Amino acid sequence: MGNPRAKAALYDALAESARALANGRRAELIDVLAQGERPVEELAAEIDQSVANTSHHLQRLLHSGLVRKRRAGTRSYYALASPAVANLWQAMRSAAEEHVAGLKRLAEDYLGDRSTLDTMTRDELRDRLRAGDVVVLDVRPQPEYRAGHIPGAISIPIHHLQERLNEVDNGGEVVAYCRGPYCVYADEAVRILAAHGRPAYRLEDGFPEWALTGHPIERET
């Protein structure tokens, strides 16, 4: 018979990751860090928190082993500890979508009506990229694009899209993508493009899901 105390300690350790993620701001941080490494100041701006609060949450994630940290000069940079953390976040999100009451309504309150937006799957986009008849638009912030993006994608952060529409090739359909299924940037890009008469789709989820399913990616040094 195993030692009950040892068993309890084992399961407590196995639950540590779940305890670390049992906070909405920390879940947001994991969602942003799934795009690539970021300094703490940028992470604070992304989740609309003070640097002090963001640092506190990052220390909790660091203690649990979900993120890693490096220093460069006076700045601290954080990244996911491994692809397993992105998989954990995706699984947690999927379970919530399946079982948490009211989640669909909360998503609609945040994302708005998506029923009028055309969507393209990852596999469809892969095939269109091979055919070379689609324009891929990455509307995430520049640091996330540099950390990793879909091959051939052009980078126009969503806040600059209106003024830079002339940079989007008029010769084909456009597929916009951003951080994942709960990111509003791609939705907004599709609406802007459609308002200017451009046929546009949003990718069904985002860059992390594209990468986790083994599709090719590019990075900038």
Count CB-CB contacts under 10 A for residue 212.
14
Q: Sort strands 200-206 and 173-178 into parallel, antiparallel or unpaired.
A: parallel
3-state secondary structure of 172: coil
The residue type found at 14 is L
Please tell me the distance from the alpha carbon of residue 192 to that of residue 175, in angstroms, as a whole number.
12
How far are the Cα atoms of 13, 25, 64 from residue 61, in angstroms, in the given order?
14, 11, 5
Show which residues are catalytic.
178
Please tell me the distance from the alpha carbon of residue 177 to that of residue 137, in angstroms, as a whole number.
6
- Alpha-helical (H) ranges within 100-213 are 103-111, 122-131, 142-147, 185-195, 207-212
Asked whether the beta carbons of 30 and 85 are under 8 A apart, the reply is: yes
